Structure 1
Amino acid sequence: MTNTTEVKIRLIEELTFIAETERGHGIILNATPENGGKNLGPSLMELLLVGIAACILLKLL
């Protein structure tokens, strides 16, 4: 059985993206202010770390 998930990411302005899941959830991604962002949402690295931490936590429960 194949289990796939689709996400779409759109650039809305320089260093700011909107990521949308196939279930309709969205999140704004933005570079940190130190890297030219406006602090409008988590950075790509922050979101990656959240995803990894959540996966590890779910495996421990």
Structure 2
Amino acid sequence: MEYMTLKEASDKWGITPRMINYYCANGRISGAVKMASVWFIPKDAERPADKRFKTNSPKDGEHK
């Protein structure tokens, strides 16, 4: 299996390495492995959903 670093995943997914570290530490990226103090993420891993935002919420000016 091929792996990428936090920096590579950050460039690929458009989020900060710190947020990816948080996802790894909380088990939200399946297959992520920590060796010493470095996380390795499978290259085919999917970006986890950001639970801070609802996908069904209305946009500005829209009503339900």
Same fold (TM over 0.5): no
Please give the TM-score of this superposition, normalised by the length of structure 1: 0.26
Bigger fraction of residues in strand: 1
Higher relative contact order (CA 8 A, sep 6+): 2
Please give the TM-score of this superposition, normalised by the length of structure 2: 0.25
Bigger fraction of residues in helix: 1
Flag the structure with larger Rg. Answer: 2
